């Protein structure tokens, strides 16, 4: 076992542990903070795979923007352990069913996977570098890429429409 | 790995650490001197000549003050908040090229800790997560004013980051690379990006001041409404950390502006020099530019009154973002036109990507890399 494999193992364990803490910690703000930590650890995993662009974009988008909004909303609502609504039994049942379905899908996906040896040597894989990623996105995967941008615009227009409508009603 | 590189980089990191902290300490003095000058006062002049020992006296005072934690504060997060703020502030200096390569002990030494190929995105990432220091510390101190400050800081950061990012993209399109070293190298001599991107510079500079939480955008710590915002409950060196982080951000932010729009270490007439002379002059030119922008930001702080919160959001979302998008479009069209996209004789036949538009303008090495 070489040094990189040890680092990969430790990182993976840390990532899973902090992911678990997101679910296990009872305080909403702490949960979000663990989620932020998880995103940073995932970025570290990307860097280990030499995917620098993905790692940084993961931090900019998820750790930097999305999680700031999460934290913002939590602080605005001032949620804490005391006034968190208690989950009813029906909700617990629904949650278990949803989680069970997710596990089923994941198992079905993982059933046929094989272990691939990690290419971790310096310069061994350049697939994650920004030039190659850009080339792929604008040639082979141009349709899904453009479609996802249309999806984002639709979501944006929807959000604007929702806020406009509310204002109209008040007038 | 080569031990020489490790030693070289370690020395560089230690120097950077010392310079960033020293600059931050002396910027507090500079700020007070500039404020005094603008208001026709003398400013601090008791400690040492021209008050030069004032930062040391301030630091010493902060170290010896009582270090307290409020009863209802979240102890762990309260302690970690200032640390995060400081850590993130110091991180982005590692990707900044401080000067041309120097030659020492028969080796070529780059004055940059690491030249990662997504350097400018790294800077953006750090500036976008830097707000966590404020948010965590403010939330943990369990104070209503601090909480307001955290909410304001986060929403302001999110609003201004978009225009900031778009104006960085325009610069990246001009230089054809995300690596900061390449961006600086593409502005050789007086070929600075400011001549091509005057509007982009103004947008970037306004957004930078907002990201730095400086007046007129210092909604997070506006004294008249929120006492001092996120560090209301902090004292001693923990508050010192917040102040240090703010001034370190100011230093690094000015460095990034000079890199993106004013050529970094490039200066007119640099072709007449070479080797170590060029390196030293380059570093001096870079620091002159940094000092100039620090002064401009301070000048703005002591000249303009603070925005109201809705004006701040209006400016961010309704003015700067559309402007920066228009600027992006115009730049893209001009780049496409100058590289022959509309006359039919394109350099890359099978390409429809902006990545390749960038590469036309960019360094030749990258163009060959893409054409493979």
Domain-by-domain residue ranges, chain B? 3-51+67-339
- Mean pLDDT, chain B, integer: 81
Query: From CA B173, how far away is CA B164, in angstroms rounded?
Result: 14
A33 contacts in B (CB within 8 Å)?
A: 77, 136
Query: Tell me: domain A3-81+89-140, CATH 2.130.10.10, correct?
Result: no
Q: Minimal CA–CA distance to B128: which of A71, A39, A59?
A: A59
- pLDDT at position A121: 54
- pLDDT at position B368: 38
B352 contacts in A (CB within 8 Å)?
A: 138, 142
Q: Which of A52, A64, A65 sits opposite B118 (nearest CB)?
A: A52
Task: Please tell me the distance in Å from B91's CA to the nearest CA on chain A.
Answer: 14
Note the pTM of the prediction, 2 decimals: 0.81
Task: Please tell me the distance in Å from A34's CA to the nearest CA on chain B.
Answer: 12
Tokens of A83: 């006034």
Please tell me which of A100-104, A106-110, B102-106 the model is most confident about, judged by mean pLDDT.
Answer: A100-104
Say whether pLDDT at A98 is over 80: yes
* Contact yes or no for B125 and A75 at CB 8 A: no
- Interface contacts A/B by beta carbons within 8 Å: 78
Query: Lowest-confidence range among A118-122, B157-161, B276-280?
Result: A118-122
Query: Lowest-confidence range among A135-144, B96-105, B237-246, B314-323?
Result: B96-105
Q: What is the band of B352 on the pLDDT scale with cuts at 50, 70, 90?
A: very low
Average pLDDT, integer, range A23-27: 83
Query: Lowest-confidence range among A85-89, A101-105, B328-332, B352-356?
Result: B352-356
Q: What is the band of B244 on the pLDDT scale with cuts at 50, 70, 90?
A: confident
Is any Cβ of chain A less than 8 angstroms from the Cβ of B166? no
Say whether pLDDT at A170 is over 90: no
Distances in Å between the Cα of B286 and the Cα atoms of B22, B31, B251, B326, B358 are 17, 20, 12, 30, 26
Say whether pLDDT at A124 is over 60: no
Cβ-proximal residues to A121 (8 Å cutoff; 6+ apart), any chain: none
- pLDDT at position B362: 42
Say whether pLDDT at B162 is over 90: no
B147 contacts in A (CB within 8 Å)?
A: 75, 78
Model ipTM value: 0.77
Distances in Å between the Cα of B211 and the Cα atoms of A70, B87, B317, B334 are 19, 17, 14, 29
Q: What residue segments make up the domains of chain A, in order of their start? A: 3-81+89-140
Name the strand (E) or helix (H) holding B178.
Answer: none
Specify whether the CB–CB gap between A88 and A165 falls below 8 A. Answer: no
Q: Which residues 59-78 on chain B approach chain A with CB closer than 8 angstroms?
A: 77
Query: Lowest-confidence range among B18-32, B277-291, B335-349?
Result: B335-349
Say whether pLDDT at B205 is over 70: yes
Tens digit of each residue's pLDDT (9 = 90 or more) over B46-58: 887 888 888 888 8
Q: What is the band of A14 on the pLDDT scale with cuts at 50, 70, 90?
A: very high
B366 contacts in A (CB within 8 Å)?
A: 131
- pLDDT at position B149: 84
Average pLDDT, integer, range B132-159: 84
* Contact yes or no for A60 and B125 at CB 8 A: yes
- pLDDT at position A147: 93
Q: What is the CA radius of gyration of chain A?
A: 21
- pLDDT at position A131: 79
């Amino acid at each position: 076992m070489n040094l990189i494999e040890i680092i990969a193992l430790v990182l993976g364990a840390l990532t899973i542990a902090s992911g678990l803490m997101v679910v296990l910690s009872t305080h909403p703000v702490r949960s979000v903070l663990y989620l932020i930590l998880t995103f940073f650890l995932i970025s570290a995993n990307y860097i280990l795979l030499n995917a620098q662009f993905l790692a940084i974009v993961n931090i900019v988008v998820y750790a930097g923007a999305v999680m700031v909004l999460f934290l913002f909303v939590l602080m605005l609502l001032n949620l804490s352990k005391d006034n968190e609504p208690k989950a009813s039994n029906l909700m617990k049942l629904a949650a278990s069913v949803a989680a069970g379905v997710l596990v089923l899908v994941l198992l079905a996906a993982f059933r046929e996977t094989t272990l691939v040896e990690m290419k971790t040597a310096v310069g061994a894989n350049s697939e994650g570098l920004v030039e190659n990623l850009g080339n792929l996105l604008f040639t082979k995967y141009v349709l899904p890429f453009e479609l996802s941008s249309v999806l984002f615009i639709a979501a944006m227009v929807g959000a604007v429409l929702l806020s406009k409508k509310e204002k109209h009603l008040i007038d | 790995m080569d031990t020489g590189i490790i030693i070289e980089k370690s020395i560089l990191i230690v120097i950077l650490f010392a310079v960033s902290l020293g600059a931050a300490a002396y910027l507090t003095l500079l700020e007070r001197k500039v404020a005094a000058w603008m208001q026709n006062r003398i400013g601090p002049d008791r400690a040492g000549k021209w008050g030069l020992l004032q930062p040391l006296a301030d630091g010493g005072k902060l170290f010896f003050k009582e270090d307290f934690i409020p009863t209802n504060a979240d102890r762990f997060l309260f302690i970690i908040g200032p640390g995060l703020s400081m850590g993130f502030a110091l991180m982005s200096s590692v990707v900044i090229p401080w000067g041309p390569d120097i030659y020492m002990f028969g080796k070529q030494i780059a004055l940059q800790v690491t030249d990662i190929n997504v350097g400018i995105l790294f800077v953006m990432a750090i500036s976008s997560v830097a707000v966590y220091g404020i948010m965590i510390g403010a939330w943990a101190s369990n104070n209503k004013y601090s909480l307001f400050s955290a909410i304001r800081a986060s929403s302001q950061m999110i609003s201004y980051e978009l225009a900031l990012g778009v104006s960085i993209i325009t610069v990246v399109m001009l230089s054809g690379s995300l690596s900061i070293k390449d961006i600086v190298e593409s502005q050789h001599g007086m070929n600075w990006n400011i001549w091509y991107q005057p509007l982009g510079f103004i947008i970037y500079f306004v957004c930078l001041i907002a990201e730095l939480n400086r007046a007129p955008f210092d909604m997070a710590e506006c004294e008249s409404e929120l006492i001092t915002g996120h560090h209301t409950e902090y004292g001693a060196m923990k508050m010192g950390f917040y102040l240090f982080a703010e001034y370190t951000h100011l230093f690094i932010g000015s460095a990034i502006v000079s890199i993106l729009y004013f050529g970094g270490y490039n200066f007119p007439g640099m072709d007449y020099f070479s080797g170590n002379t060029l390196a030293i002059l380059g570093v001096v030119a870079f620091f002159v530019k940094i000092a100039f922008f620090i002064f401009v930001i301070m000048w703005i702080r002591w000249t303009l009154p603070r925005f109201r919160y809705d004006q701040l959001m209006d400016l961010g979302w309704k003015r700067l973002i559309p402007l920066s998008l228009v600027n992006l479009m115009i730049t893209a069209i001009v780049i496409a036109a100058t590289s022959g996209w509309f006359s039919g004789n394109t350099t890359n036949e099978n390409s429809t990507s902006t990545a390749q538009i960038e590469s036309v303008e960019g360094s030749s090495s990258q163009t060959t890399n893409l054409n493979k």
